[in-house]
Each structure stands twice: as C-alpha cells, then as structure tokens.
A and B are shown apart, each in its own frame.
Chain A
Amino acid sequence: MNEISKAEEMVLLAIWRLRDEAYGVSIRRKILNDTGKNYTYGTLYGLLRQMDHKGYIKKIKGEPLPKKGGRSKSYFKLTPVGIRVLKGAIALHKRMWKDINEFSFDES
C-alpha cells in the first residue's frame, strides 16, 4: 500500500468529512477551519489532480450552474482505494505513535 503525504491526508480527510458537499471552496475552507492551513487553489487542485490520477478520488459532475451556458460544478468523492490509503494512514500513525503521548517527551 502506498503511503500518502500529510497534504494528501488532509485533503482526503476533508473530502470524506464533507461527504456529498466536497468541492473546491468547501474543501479549502474545511482544511482552513480544521488545521489552519491556508491552501491556494493552485496547490489544492494540483493535489486533487494528482490523487485523481492515482485513483484515490474521483471527480463527479454536479448540476450545471444556474446561469446562461453554465458549466457543471465538479464534486469530489473518495474511491475505495482512497478509503484504503486513509485506513493505511491511521494504521501507520498508530504504529508510529505506539506507547507515546505528549508527556513521553518530558522525560528526556
């Protein structure tokens, strides 16, 4: 199983939390609210495209925008692979942080 980067992890989690409402603005705001990271759309869409390419997420066309010649909004959804890599990330965290808590560092 591929390991994912912290940024990918954040984006994937945000998409999962947003369920059917995951599109550009909401993902960006979610990450901003949850982690304080202020991503630009450049970075965000770069990550999304990469993860789309890797098969973690898929793009879903929503309803066309209510204006003349409006194009449809793109929503994002986790694929089974995406869910698997997220689970993998949790497992890895658990293994990494096993028997360690905030107080552990005070000893040394």
Chain B
Amino acid sequence: MNSKRNKDLNPPRLPEWIIQRLAWAEDRFSIQENLREEYMFILATRGARSANLWYWGHMIRSLFPFVKFSIYWRSVMIKNYLKLVLRSMNKHKGYSFINIAGLAVGLACFILISLWINFEISYDRFHENGDDLYQVIGENLLPNGNLDFFPQTPAALAHALDSERPEIRNVSRSLEWMEFLLGTEDRRFLERVRFVDPAFLEMFSIEFMKGNPKEALSQPQSIILTENIAKKHFPDQDALGEEILLGSNGIFLVTGVIKEMPANSFLRSLCLLPIEALGDMGMDIDRWSGGNYFTYVHLEEEANLEFFKAQISGIYKKYAPNWAVTKLTLRPITRIHLYDLNGGGPIVYIYIFSGLSVFILLLAMVNFTNLSTARSFLRAKEIGVRKTAGAYRQQLTKQILMESILVALFSGCLAVVIAYFLLPVLNQLTGARIDFNFNGETALFLTGIVILTGVISGIYPAFILSSMNPVRAIKGAIKPGKNSLLFRKVLIAFQFSLSIFMVIAMIGVNKQLKYLKTKGLGYNQGNILSMGLDREISRCYQAIQTEFMRNPDILSMTRSSSNMRTESTTTGGDAVTWEGKPNNIEMPKTHLMRVDPEFVTTFQIDMLEGRFFSNEFPSDVTESAVINETAIKTMDLKSPIGKRLTVWKQNFRIIGVIKDFHFYSLHDEIRPLIFIHRFAGYSNIFIRINSQDIPKTLDFIQDKIKEIVPGYVPNLKFLDENLHNIYITEQRMVTGTRYFTFLAIFISCIGLLGLASFSVRQRTKEIAVRKVLGASEGNIVLQLFKETLICVIAANIVVCPIAYFVLQGWLQNYAYHTTLGIGIFILASVLTVALAFLSVGWNVFKASLANPVDSLRYE
C-alpha cells in the first residue's frame, strides 16, 4: 500500500468522521485503517465512484451495530458501578443511611412543593377560552402617587364595552355578594348566589350535569344549582325542572345542575341566576353609579391587547363623567388567583416555599458532599489501584459521579414513596386538593432533578478522589488536606446557617400570629354568635328579637352591614364633607357601616363623646351619624357633636364619637369609620350570649328561628373562631415553617452525626495519646466539640442579622406587629448549639470514655 496518499485518494470525509464518532476509543483507529485499506483496494480496481459508494454504504450499514454495541458496553459499565455502589452501601450501612435518608427527605420535600406549585399555577388554566378571558378592573391614582386597583365596576359598563369595541366576543357581569334563603318550604339555608349574563356560561368552562347551557339562563325566573345544593334539596330526585324558593323573590325553576367548580379556580362554586332576576328585585342593572359588579370579557383571539386596553381606559367618561375612576384596564383571569390586585397574593408564598425546598435539597446535597469528601481517603487505596491498573482520571470521575447519581436515584425512589404518604399532610397544610398524578412529564422532570442532585453532590468528591496521586494513595500517605477540611467546615456552617434562619423565622412568624390572635380588638369578641341576614329574615327581625330577648341567656343582639372580618362599604375623597371642612383636608378611604342601636352594647364598645343611636330618637334612623376616633383625628374636628356630615350627598348630624376598635383584620390599620343607622341593608346578625350552657342556647336559637322564618336553618358561628380564620395564611405560614425547620434541622444534624462519628474514629489514637498524657474526659469532649462549635457560632453570627432584616421586612406588611426581641435570637442560637452538641455528643462522649489501651495496643 502506498504510504503517501493524495488528498483526493482519501475516503469521503463525512462518513469517515461519523464512523470515528461512533466507534469506541480502543478500536477507533483500527476500524478506520481497515476501512481505508478496503477503500484503496476498491479504488484501485473499480474506480473512485464505486469506492465512495461502497464507503457510504458500509457506513450506513455499520450504524446499527455500532449503536447496539455501545449501548451494550455502557450497560456493562453501569452494572459494574451498580455492583460497587451496592457493595459499599452494604459495607457502610450507617453512612449510606445518612446519605440516602437525607437526600430522600430533601427530594420528597422538593416533590411535594413542586406538586403544590403545579397546583397553584394551574388555577383557571382549564377554561377552554382561558387565554382570552379578562376581568375589567379600575385603576386609581392615589394622592401619594401609588396606584390602587379594584375589580368592582358599574353594571352598565358591560353593555357599553360590548357596543363600542369589536374585539369583544362576549361580555358578562357577575354579582356575587348577595345572600338569599334558598330551598324548599320546610328547609332553607342562607346561600350566596351569583347573578350573571347568559354569556357567562359560554365564556367560562362550567360543566353541566343536567340542562342546556344555551337556554338555562334565558328566563328571569330560572336558577342553575350546583351539584351539592341540588343534592341537599332534592336528594332522591332529578332537580332539573323542580321549583325552588329564593328568599322573598318567589319561585325559581331549576334549569340546570352544574358540577362544583374545580378546586383550582378563582370562581367560587355558586348557584347561577340570570342578571335580569336582579331587575325584578328592584335593582337597576343598567346604572353607571355604585359598582359592585365584576365585568369579564372574552376577546377575539386576534385582538391586540395593548390597543384594546388603550381604547377602553377612558370609555366610561362618555356615560359617567363623575365616576371617580382614573382608568380602566384588564387582568387575565389566570392571574386572579395568584396575584392580588394591589401586590402580594399566593405568588409570594410560591416564591418563599420553592426557595425553601431548594434550600432543603441543598442541605441534603451538602451532607452527601461532606461525607464523601471526608471519607475520600478511605477510598484512596481503591483509587490508587484503579489508577495503576490504567484507569484514566476521566473514567474515575465518571465512576464516582455515577455512584452518586445511583445513590440519588435510590433516594429519588424513596422520596416518591415518602411524598405519596405525606401528600395528605400537604393538602391539610395548604388547604388545597392536590392529587398525586404522575404523568410522563413529571416523571421526566423528577428524574432530571434527581440526576442533577446526584451530579451536584458528587462533583466535588469526584474531583478530589480522581486527582489523587496513585503512588501516595497506595502507600496510605494521603491525609485529608487542609483545603478540603476548610471546605467541609464552610459547608457545615452553611447548613447551620439555614437551620438557624429557619428556627428564627419559625419563632418570629409564630410570635406574630399569636400577637394577631390575642391583640385586643377594642371590643369584647367572646361569646358572640354571628349569622347571615337576607331581606326576608330582615322583615322578621322584630319578631326574632322579641322572642330572643325573653331568653335570659341571650344578652343582646344587633344587626350590622359588616361581618367584622373583611372590609365592607368604603367611601372617601369628595364624597365626604363636613361643616367647617378645611380645604387642605380630604378624607382618605373611609368605611361606612350600617348598624342598629344595640351595636355598642352587644360588642361592648365605649363611647368617647356624645351618645350612640337610640330607639328613643326616631330621627336617628335618617339623620344621625356616629364616627370613630380616627375619623375625628383625620377630619381635625375639635367639637364634633352636632356638626353636619355629608356622605354621598346625604346630610347627617354627628351625635357621638366611638372609641377606636378593629372592625376588620389586623393586616390593616384602623381607618376612619362612619356609622349610620338604617332599617335596611344589614347583612349580619350578632348575638351576645351567656357563657353558661351554650348548647342549650344554640338549640333555642335554631328552633325559634325556624319557627319565625319558616324552614330557615341558620349557620351559626362564633365570631372569635371566625376571626381566627382571617389569619389562615399566617397559620399556614407557621405550620409550613415548622415543617421546614424540622427538616432543615434533621438533615443538618444527621449530616453532622455522620461526620462526627467519622472524624472521631479518625482521631482515636490522638484521643488515646491525650488521655495517656493526662487529659480529662471533659478536656477531650471540649477538644473534639470545639471545631463544630466554631462553625455553628460563626453561622449564628452571620445569620442573625440577616434573619432580623428579613423578618422585620415581613412584619412591615402588618399595620400591627409584634417586636422581635433579642430573645428570639438567643433562643435560636442556644437551640442550634445544643442540637449540634447532641448530634456530635454521643460519638465524642463515647470516644472520651474509651480506654486508651484499646486504641494504642497495636502500636
């Protein structure tokens, strides 16, 4: 064969390159040479064309065998790695337990959080038109320059939008704050219902069990029941076509039964009524003033969103020049759940908890890395032998990485099992209904995460181990280096920093919740029952009151337009004026509450000045107003009694000033409040009862109400329990951080335990020598514990200020918040040091007691 080959005598480049890529390293060259040889032969005998053709054909025919063999050999190697991993796990059971348990717990936590996040972001994605559905919202520019968004819009807006904008395919209003007695003659419950335009059913994906969605809302006297309510009132029969009573508004025909809305929808599961029914109840459904309606639009797919927003932003001006809104805009319905209109919302918790789950996983990885590097020189001989036998560094790195990936995979499987069993806990914690659905996509994602975990936690040990000098490794001359020791200490400090942070956060959040729950609200919240009120019950109120007051266990009762938990009617700006109003003062957001004269006695609130409403002054009903301390301060009124107050162009006289109290959640500071006394417009009854024999009183109330309002089954609740429910988010935060803290501490401590048992064993001889030279047990414990102590204390010093600022920042969200005393930080520090001591302690203690003769007799 000619050794000097011309360039054009070479085989075609592309197939040659492909074959080179595919062939395994040791035979790559031979195969290439062989092919060249045959190519040359064909070239010489039959010409270039057929030689090239042959080469290409050969390459293509070789593809399959190459791939087949490389897979075969790779699986042989993996089998080999697997065998090694299993052997070493079997040999060091405690160590493998710490690694696998830590990683499994970390991964399980990660899986659960991912499931929860997946659930949260799935909100309202199931609507077929979801991407084109928007809620119309208002945007106000506040005097301080901030924007205030609100979702309530006037009833007439929907029609105006529909007639002016061609981009709109469908539009619907929704009114969902009214409650009615709903049911049959002898069994009625107070239910919240939703009034909508017929288009609502086309826009949102609402699943019908019975009835025709196209016609269900075409008649004003029709109602669509939810599955649960249909079952409640028509347990044994088909609800469709039945008649049902709606408060005092007469008989409604059931034209459909819908499934309950899925848990991941911002739309509450409510019975649906046509909006025309409101007209029959005497409400003007084409008004531009007083907006309590939500307006939803379904845009054409090709609509330009920005253009549309610009077009509607001032659309109301033509119809309602006085409407106090600056601008109209839109928000996609898929954001309604996740993002609160004025900042915050569940999205914040998604960020917090996903961050935490990543941190927990990091902790577990740190354990793995730490233990592997600490133990690396135990494997020095193995590595030395492998290297001498001809293993490349790259191969060793691959092997060690493969081992950690395998450990991660074991942990991953375990984690799935743990997550499966802990899912109910998560559901309870978040109040969500999350299923454990494991489709291909999540499995792939999870496998990816698991492998990544293995790689990240194995990369440093792999680097350390594969870089060992084989000669020194076999001689046993390799000792843990200064660098890797420092690295380990930093990792321990890092782990403990997170644990300390979690402990501080847990105590802080807990303290705030306790503060919120126990802070005085300015009135006596104990032993107050609350129940709803609709027009029909209102009409019977006098009879109810007369009957109730005969029972000595019922102390007093009152009606109010507020539920004492959430904001109710608000006003402000130029809607509120008063006698002697200076020009430079304008009322900020002001609350308006309708109450009857018994309000102050029932809630036991003191008056500051003047008097409260009284039945002895009939004119109170229309002419009098009572305001709170904050209002006086804001208005800068010196002698308020008798002054004229105008709200929404109605004149009142101020007859009294009430002491400040919290009339809704403590998230917000006390705002100006104006009480007016009206016959109508109440939505809640509050009953103060005696604390003796409460069940009897409850029965009495139930029975009497049913007698007076035929068939009414009231849903009685204790106000203080209801009040606690306002802080459900904080409650969940507390429980959530508690779990996370526990996990963080658990993982850090088992990691420390593993390291300690290892380093103590490493230092058996040192301890023995020290003892022989006269060190006491105490000295030795201190000596051994010193290193860990330094790490933990360093972590404390770094973390405490950070935790302080983060918590302080969180507390700033609350108008009323607890103070973070130094106690929290001391408690957290002491706790973590104690825990570190406990996890190191057993091994250290055991080592300090050991008889030096046992350790030294082989020297």
Contact = CB atoms under 8 A, between A and B. Distances in A.
Interface in B48-68: 58, 61-66, 68
A101 interface: no
Contacts of A25: 34, 37-38
A40 B33 CA distance: 14
Most buried by B among A43, A48, A50: A43
Nearest to B31: A41
B29 interface: yes
Interface string A13-28: 0000000000111001
A93 B19 CA distance: 37
B584 interface: no
B141 to A, nearest CB: 73
Interface of A is mostly: helix
B24 A41 contact: no
A42 B63 contact: yes
Given A25-B38, A66-B3, A45 B33 contact: no
Contact of A46 (B34, B58, B69): B69
Interface size bracket, A side: 10 to 19
B167 to A, nearest CB: 61
Contacts of B30: 23-24, 45, 73-74
B65 A43 contact: yes
A45 B61 contact: no
A49 B66 CA distance: 12
A42 B27 contact: no
A67 B3 contact: yes
Contacts of A41: 19, 31, 34-35, 58, 62
A71 interface: yes
Contacts, number: 60
B23 interface: yes
Contacts of B62: 40-43
A40 B61 contact: yes
A41 B64 CA distance: 11
B449 interface: no
Given A40-B58, A71-B29, A46 B3 contact: no
A65 interface: yes
Contacts of B63: 42
B22 interface: yes
Contacts of A67: 3
A6 B710 CA distance: 93
Contacts of A40: 58, 61-62, 65
A7 B3 CA distance: 33
Nearest to B4: A67
A23 B69 contact: no
Nearest to B23: A45
Most buried by B among A40, A65, A73: A40
Contacts of B73: 49
Contacts of A74: 27, 30
B2 to A, nearest CB: 10
Contacts of B58: 40-41
A6 to B, nearest CB: 16
5 contacts: A24-B33, A41-B35, A41-B62, A42-B61, A49-B73
Given A48-B27, A49-B24, 11 more contacts: A23-B30, A24-B33, A24-B34, A24-B37, A25-B38, A40-B58, A40-B61, A42-B23, A42-B61, A45-B69, A66-B3
Q: Identify the 8 closest CB pairs spanning chains A and B, nearest first.
A: A42-B62, A24-B34, A42-B65, A46-B69, A40-B62, A43-B65, A42-B66, A40-B61
